[in-house]
Structure 1
Amino acid sequence: LAKALRKMQKQLGLEETGELDAGTLEAMRAPRCGVPDVGTFLTFEGDLKWDHMDLTYRVMNYSPDLDRAVIDDAFKRAFKVWSDVTPLTFTQIYSGEADIMIMFGSREHGDGYPFDGKDGLLAHAFPPGQGVQGDAHFDDDELWTLGTGLVVKTRHGNANGADCHFPFVFEGRSYSRCITEGRTDGLPWCATTASYDRDKKYGFCPSELLYTNGGNSDGSPCVFPFIFDGTSYDTCTTDGRSDGYRWCATTANFDQDKKYGFCPNRDTAVIGGNSQGDPCVFPFTFLGQSYSACTSQGRQDGKLWCATTSNYDTDKKWGFCPDRGYSIFLVAAHEFGHSLGLDHSSVREALMYPMYSYVQDFQLDPDDVRGIQYLYEAGSTSTTEEEEETLEPTVEPIPVDPSRDACMEKNFDAITEINGELHFFKDGKYWTRSSFWKSGIQGAFSVADTWPGLPAVIDAAFQDVLTKRVFFFAGRQFWVFSGKSMLGPRGIEKLGIRKEAGRISGALQRGRGKVLLFSGENYWRLDVKVQRVDKGYPRATDDVFTGVP
């Protein structure tokens, strides 16, 4: 144990005592990057680096904690940290495959390296290369801020989208959160200067009464009350879903209209507890006493909490109040260092030190500069990637031929999972069954309405788990869709499958970024990111999947 402790202490730049002293315990408990502490402190083993200088990145999804514009700006500044000291350039794209794919996820999120909930592991990234290599993932169970507390970007009002200013004065009283005082419609708002009484500058805070995210309602606000599974709801709910996301109907009856959206996080949205994402309700009752602000009463660790209903004593619903959070800019700059080929540093002042600490006036440490300039010297070869068309979101399908029952079909042309729903294809139509919604099979829908340009008969299909692009195969051709933007048809020869192969009759996900494609008695392993089959294929299906026809 002492030998292992000394090795870890050396790695973290601590005094090498071989004992679990106070400094070592403090470092072990600190929030940190999820990349293991191995390597030479400067670069990954083998000096992994990109073979071109003009890199692209794409943000696959966003945290509900911050406005998208704030996150995009933080990522842009994080990449600039590295481009300022190297010949590297970074361009954000909104469709297709980027060198660095960025996503937010929680717990097990598809790459085999699960996160651990709030605090602890904050993010991780992979060194340069194909497939998942180079990608960066952020734990969506953290509270993402700019490091100094909540950033609340307003909408509408008269402040042109400025951030809330906390605290602010309204009618002589100071507020450190969005409020509904002074309004009769219940919409939360804030001042964007220190004094609304003086400057009269304000905007509306994120609220399900103002808009929703995602879903199929084009951002329409929630309608309360609404009916779901015969029950009336007055607030956002996670009922009917297995992923814990809060949602609402955008009409009075979800059972009838099937229109919904996801509720944005309010500035008082709690973290953890048993009400993740629900807003604090003030005032609330705890042990018979009324509270109009977060409190540490009832806890020994001093953490602030609130109830998410008006009476904790009755409902026992609660969560931790937002804290300073973690700087998305600082964590991203660190993770992008990994994406470029840097390992962890043992220099405590370095950006690439594995433990998180907030720095207000950030600048790269000389150790970081030496590491990145060792990898990327001036004069390296540069290549330019072909830009693809910006993709449009998928339009919600319109049911056709409602009398047609999927359960009456004897067979289907293809079956695959798309956006968490099983899709059953047959003669130009398809049905869906969701594992998220506790409902039966929906449809039939028209393939041509949802994916214009596809043939009526689909032989195989799959969705890439990272980019969410959907690949369709028919005959010896394939199509790639993201939303309604289509690339294809193209011949499967483009994937490296020779002409002697027939049609692709099946597709099976095989780990992240890999898909098995079946044709006749053989199968190929496709690298989805580069859209080429791996060397050593085809192989006989019966060698691995014995007895499969």
Structure 2
Amino acid sequence: MMDCLQHIVVLCVIGLSWARTISKQNQIGDVTTESAGIMSTTQLPLHLQEKEYKYLETNGYLSPSVHIEDPPEILEQEVGTAIIKFQQFYKIPPSGHMDNTTRNTMWAPRCGFPDIVRFDNDNNELVSGTTNHRRKRYNAPGGFYKWSNHKLTYSILNYPRRGNHKDWEVRTVIKRAFEVWSEVTTLTFRETKPEEADIRIGFYSGRHSLDKDHPIFDGPDGDLAHAFSPNAGWGKVDGDVHFDNDEVFTMETGNNAGYSFFQIAAHEIGHALGLDHSDDPGALMWPHYHYIHNFRLPKDDLLGIQHLYGKNANNKNGPSIFTVQSPCTKVFDTVVSIGGVLYLFKGSRYWEVWDGKLLSANEGKLIRDNWFKLPSRIDAVYQRKDGKTLFFKGNKYWVYYSKYPVSGYPKRVKELGLPNAIDAAVPIGSRKTFFFKKTMVWRFDERKQKIDQGFPRPIRDVFKGLPHRIRMGFTHYDGHSYFLKGAKYWKMTTRLKTVANAKGEPNEFGMDFFGCPSRKSMKNGILKLENPDNLDIDDEEDELLDDHVEYTHDADLYD
């Protein structure tokens, strides 16, 4: 295997690869079809489509010396050999024909760089499908594509436009992806400014370089990401990592419902450190996307990265299991109290809390399993006095009775007189519901089904003692209302209409409601916090605490 490590080069999306040269096979077919487009006048053998020919060429299975203008018998032999190489790499019985299994494997979500690396007579790597862009195989005599400096820096240039992810969520996942490699090697990683970074991370769509040999993203469910090995001859992008901005990633470590950003990022960082794709289907560096439950760095990847950078002498236990994050580390999207049970929502999942205990497993439950056809990433939710539950997301809202949707919904939020993308909905009293967005609050009359006159008003004019902005809220079975921001909450009694904590210091939601350790102890290493500062990155101007608490006795607000 160590001999194969000599082939480590730039590549992308999933795998630590020791590319192997496979001897040519002579088993070929005898059927030809006519392809469309630029090859419309050329017959491609073995039922091969034009895009499949390009795939074999781009990923290194066809020799750069092969041309579609070659005599049919030569082209057929070369294409048959290329198909066999592909089948052998992906553990498919080698037939030399494009059967359904081969086609389905070929178009699975994957990396946009070649699986097989070819070199010319001067030991330069050839970019598959081209003849004019070459890269040195080694960055030092007898060395590999690797960093000479073991104290590396990185920078995040931009953030994904799809998925409604917070910047701090992305930063947290990327940091953990770097830790996959630093905990088993002598490498260390630190985030810094773009102009100072060794590894730059960005989200792009389509063609995103003037270099015509630069890989191009192809939209959703194709090439998910790619990366460039250090000192590989690509210029400024050497060592960089690019994600397809048309994909929707999930930031939840234990969620296999979408493309796990954590595992894709860890894979791409492996490329940025000098690892190639692996032909081990269980490896992180396998070219195609595959979700690894209870992630621990596989042995194939471990051996490869330690061959390049050595072992971490301080780590006697080997790779850690990157387990599902505890709900104690989460900052939830929204929360609601129904029948004395708290339902905490985050992304596509929810957790149940009752009587100070977490009833759900750490990974939570899928929202769609309890509320039929309800979308993920809910903005706000509350239950009316008639037992129906309203869910808000963006410019729409849904009404559910138990787990079933009420017909005629979703409807537009504006029909209620409310703005889009509200932060929270809190019913107070017998017929008033308060809706929050940024620094404003709307009071809604449930009987009249309209906003009360004089609203919206600033939150601090109505609820003295609350911060400028709150993110969640609910009225519990004890009759009290609770307002949350980050991991902190404020308690209000409807009888006194005041914030209960006279000092104006919010309490810890997870600690008081479902037995989490204190945030202080988590900062000291018991658990890794999703957002240690309890603030949204794009909302840092909001105050977490107020200097003092004032009281309001405006009884009309609640009547």
TM-score past 0.5 threshold: no
Normalised to the residue count of structure 2, the TM-score between the two structures is 0.35
Normalised to the residue count of structure 1, the TM-score between the two structures is 0.35
* Structure with more of its chain in helix, by fraction: 2
